[in-house]
Amino acid sequence: MSIWKRVGLMAAGACMAAWAARAAPGYRLESAVVLKGASPAWDYITVDPVRGDLFLARRGAGVTVYDAKAQRAVATIADSQGADIAALAPDVDRGYTANEDGSTTIFQLSSLKTLGREKLAGGIDSAFYDPATRQVAFTAGDDHELVLVDAASGRMTGQVKLDSSELEASAADGKGFLYVNERDRNRVAKVDLKTRKAVAEWPIADCALPVGMAMDRAANRLFIGCRGDHPVLAVVDAADGREITVLPIGRGNDGVVYDPAERRIFTSNGLDANIVIFDQLGPDSYRLAGAVTTRPIARTMAFDPTTRKIYTVTAEGIVDPAKPVLTRVAPFYPNRYYDDTFTVLTYAPIGGVPR
């Protein structure tokens, strides 16, 4: 064998080894911390990457602030009962909860002190902050609208009417546009937050029940978790709504996050108890990188871009036939959770933070 052929084989082997290393991101459970509380319930998790805290929306119990480094709860946002999410606006030192009764609890991010609780709509499901316009967008599905609030002052700036009654996760492009999943219509709405108008609405042909969403701002790609009978991650061009591809994921998706540094997409899937991970090879090219087992009903997720750790939560639940059974989600989806079983799960990259 010639020296050049040997060099070529060695180079090919090195490339394959490099790809194999990238294709296996390697996450393992670092900790499982139980937080006390009666009848746990929850929705979104939000990371404050500056302080390393998690904001856990625990519905009836309000928002718990969890020190991820110390692995313990350190505070509860006062007057935040019914919270489904805490949207953080660090550039104006504010946080806003989305409460099920249609109100928001406004707090100072640096001190965690509650500044007030204001009614915005008949009911609110979630909230997302757009740094480009410094507005918080609240999804009020029952009212078929987004409610917009100036993050610095807390003043309502307007509403955007949408046809959907089930508005799910959103993603901002950093240029003043917000993309919103319309779960009941299998569509994505594009909203101009500067003019406060919906400027487009796109059907997603291969996506049923869009819930989770993340965005690659550089490539202008949306990553949408679709919870239908054949759950997939749909990759959509944010310029025109064109579907690029769909990739199989686990059942019961609720969370999707994107890591722009490593160009990876993570999907948390509660029914199959896994996190399915994809590598982004290019704007229109994706490949399975691996999957990590979690625990049942660990459906929501947050990602810390500094530590690259993944956080999800769950609790020990049962189906109580004396109560309404949540068959729309799954035939035997828990409708009651045991006291003192709410658990914060931390998954860390094996070998530390990639460089």
Beta bridge partners of 282: 285
**pLDDT class of 11 with cuts at 50, 70, 90:** very low
For the chain, give the mean pLDDT: 92
pLDDT (0 to 100) of residue 10:
38
pLDDT (0 to 100) of residue 101:
97
Higher pLDDT, 26 or 1: 26
pLDDT (0 to 100) of residue 173:
97
pLDDT (0 to 100) of residue 47:
97
Is the predicted pLDDT of residue 6 greater than 50, yes or no?
Answer: no
**pLDDT class of 74 with cuts at 50, 70, 90:** very high
Q: What is the DSSP string of 98-167?
A: EETTSEEEEEETTT--EEEEEE-SS---EEEEETTTTEEEEEEGGGTEEEEEETTT--EEEEEE-S-S-E
pLDDT (0 to 100) of residue 351:
77
Helix, strand or coil, per DSSP, at residue 322: coil
Buried b (16+ CB within 10 A) or exposed e, 300-338: bbbbbeebbbbbbbbbbbeeeeeeebeeebeeebbbebe
- Are the C-beta atoms of residues 217 and 263 closer than 8 Å to each other? no
Torsion angles phi and psi, residue 297, rounded to 5: 70, 10
**pLDDT class of 353 with cuts at 50, 70, 90:** low
- Are the C-beta atoms of residues 252 and 317 closer than 8 Å to each other? no
Count the neighbouring beta carbons within 10 Å of the beta carbon of residue 26. Answer: 14
What mean pLDDT is predicted for residues 332-347? 97
What's the predicted TM-score (pTM) here? Answer: 0.92
What is the CA 56 to chain-centroid distance, rounded? Answer: 12
What is the CA 235 to chain-centroid distance, rounded? Answer: 16
**Residues 244-265: tens digit of each pLDDT:** 999 999 999 999 999 999 999 9
Is the predicted pLDDT of residue 335 greater than 90, yes or no?
Answer: yes
Q: How many residues does the chain have?
A: 355
**Residues 157-198: tens digit of each pLDDT:** 999 999 999 999 999 999 999 999 999 999 999 999 999 999
Count the neighbouring beta carbons within 10 Å of the beta carbon of residue 211. Answer: 23
Q: By CB neighbour count within 10 A (0-12 exposed, 13-18 middle, 19+ buried), where does 49 fall?
A: middle
Q: Give me 192's structure tokens.
A: 């101009």
Which range, of 6-15, 20-29, 180-189, 243-252, averages the lowest pLDDT? 6-15
Provide CB contacts within 8 A for 334, sequence distance 6+: 297, 317, 318, 319, 326
d(CA 119, CA 101): 8
Q: pLDDT over 90 for what percent of the chain?
A: 88
- Are the C-beta atoms of residues 179 and 152 closer than 8 Å to each other? no
**Residues 199-243: tens digit of each pLDDT:** 999 999 999 999 999 999 999 999 999 999 999 999 999 999 999
d(CA 165, CA 142): 5
